[in-house]
Amino acid sequence: MAILYDNRMKVWIKLLIGSVIGIILGFLLPESGNLFDAFVWLEQLIIRIGRYAIVPLLVFSLTIAIYELKQDKQFWPLIIKNILLIAGLSVLVIGIGVFLASVFHIREIDNFSYTQKEVIIYNSGSFYDLIPFNMFKVLVDDGVYLLPLCFFAFFFAIGLSYDHKYCKPVISIVDSLSRIFYHIVSFFIELIGFLLIFLAAYWTIRFRHVLATGIFTNLILILAGISAILVLVILPLLLYIIRPKINPWKVLFRSLGPAITAFFSGDLNFTLPMLMRQAKDNFGSRRRSNSVTLTLFSIFCRAGSAMVAAVALIVILKSYSRLGIPASEIFSICTSAFLISFLLGHHPGNAAYTGLFVLCLQYEHSIEKGYVLLEPLMFFLIAIGTLIDAMLAVFANYAISQTSGLTEDEKTAHIV
């Protein structure tokens, strides 16, 4: 295990080794109630470690990024690009996912008895979350919902712009704190390769149990196929259209670290530090682009999770009715999933399953509790959704930084 602490080894190799060891352990370890409880506790601890320094990093990085963008008059053009790309990718991903799910044959799930273990609490947030009574409250919150941090950073950056003579010392401090917390986050990232052993083992134990039942095999294959088409075909093709001279396969390879982290953690806030380091070190994207784009995508672009929820809803509808789903109903599901994808920022760790819960609620007195059918597969839905969300953020950030001239010479970048 000591090899996973070697700072000379690339992070993506550590993550790959850690995940492989975890998968092997997951297949070898016996199913035990005490062991399962231990993994639940470990998962929560590891997620906390991954999120530990993300709030101060985002506060200072966003502040200095917004300040620099406003000085160069690039802030609003960058925001507009993000908004358009978030909306466009959300339509595309959800549309393709639902279309493929409706075209391919998906075996209905037998309506079996199952006791739900978790209570789903949906929180879309409110305007009061963005503007609390005390501006500094966002700095001591739990850091689950990141949008209030964006508001704080925006107004902080505005304040830094009023008089350069008096603000210059503060600007230097903010810039230094941003770099300090980036290195603190980098330290925790070096540990994730080892911690991923436990996340991958816990994920594999659950996956092994689901495979043994044979109930969800068809749905697993469909979701795996859709995610492969989106990540390996659609996103590289879009990047090639936007920047024909860029090799999209190189982008995919350099995104392996965030992809592994997102899949086994199922938590986008946990993956965000990895995304920020990968964007800087692997692609040479500048901080002013990474901080803004990756944060906005982690809050508003949960199209992958919403798509997974929509596909799962289609399976549930087919399980309740053998009459098929009319085109109008498919369109309604797509529209609802599209809207929900912007409202999952409060749920970085269970977005896909929360999205499915909300989608089921629209079928009041019919299948409003249909999501319980897929509760055993919850971890898989979350993993696939978070993986696609992370890859959307990677490709979007790279495309935006390239088209905005916010990329340093890639020859100076080193793969981590």
**pLDDT digit string, tens, across residues 319-375:** 776 667 888 889 999 999 999 999 999 899 999 999 999 998 887 656 767 788 888
On whether the CB atoms of residues 255 and 231 are closer than 8 A, the answer is no
pLDDT score at 372? 83
- Contact in structure between 260 and 196 (CB atoms under 8 Å): yes
Q: Are 392 and 93 in contact (CB under 8 A)?
A: yes
Most confident residue range from 11-15, 214-218, 256-260: 256-260
Domain chopping of the chain, boundaries: 2-412
Model confidence band, residue 128 (pLDDT cutoffs 50, 70, 90) = confident
Burial of residue 49, with CB atoms counted within 10 A of its CB: 0-12 exposed, 13-18 middle, 19 or more buried: middle
Q: What is the pLDDT of residues 102-122, one digit of tens each?
A: 887 666 666 544 445 555 666
Distance CA 254, CA 270 (A): 18
Give the model's pLDDT for residue 119.
Answer: 55
Question: In this structure, how many other beta carbons lie within 10 angstroms of the beta carbon of residue 76?
Answer: 10
- Number of Cβ within 10 Å of residue 325's Cβ equals 16
Name the DSSP class of 232. Answer: I
Does residue 272 have a pLDDT over 70?
yes
Query: Yes or no: is domain 2-412 CATH 1.10.3860.10?
Result: yes
- Residue 176, pLDDT > 70, answer yes
**What SS3 state is found at 285?**
strand
pLDDT for residue 411 is more than 60: no
Q: In angstroms, how far is CA 6 from the centroid of its own chain?
A: 27
Quick one: which of 288, 280, 268, 203 has its CA closest to 27? 203
What single DSSP character describes residue 233?
I
Reported as half-sphere exposure (CB side, CA atoms, 13 A), residue 333 has a value of 30
Asked if residues 19 and 200 have their Cβ atoms less than 8 Å apart, the reply is yes
- Evaluate whether 197 touches 26 at the Cβ level (below 8 Å): no
Task: Look at residue 78 in the predicted model and tell me its pLDDT.
Answer: 96
3-class SS of residue 275: helix
CB count within 10 Å of CB 106 equals: 18
What contacts 198, CB < 8 A, 6 or more positions away?
Answer: 22, 39, 42, 43, 46
Q: Within its chain, how far is the Cα of 279 from the centroid?
A: 15
Structural tokens at position 118: 């978790």
Give the residue among 74, 29, 106 at the shortest CA–CA distance from 404. Answer: 74
Q: For residue 137, is pLDDT > 80?
A: yes
Mean pLDDT of the region 181-193 = 93
Residue 391 has pLDDT above 60, yes or no: yes
With b for 16 or more beta-carbon neighbours within 10 A and e for fewer, the 227-246 pattern comes to: beebbeeebbebbeebeeeb
Least confident window among 88-102, 224-238, 273-287, 318-332: 318-332
Per-residue pLDDT at 132 exceeds 50: yes
Q: What percent of the chain has pLDDT over 90?
A: 63
At residue 407, what are phi and psi to the nearest 5 degrees?
A: -120, 130
Which runs of consecutive H residues, i.e. helices, occur in 286-377?
287-300, 303-320, 327-340, 351-361
Task: Between 412 and 127, name the one with better pLDDT.
Answer: 127
Which of 33, 388, 39, 390 is closest to 204 using CA atoms? 39
pLDDT score of 113: 47
Average pLDDT score, the chain: 88
How far apart, in whole angstroms, are the C-alpha atoms of residue 354 and residue 339? 13
Give the model's confidence band at 182: pLDDT under 50 very low, under 70 low, under 90 confident, else very high. Answer: very high
Judge whether 177 and 56 are in contact, CB under 8 Å.
yes
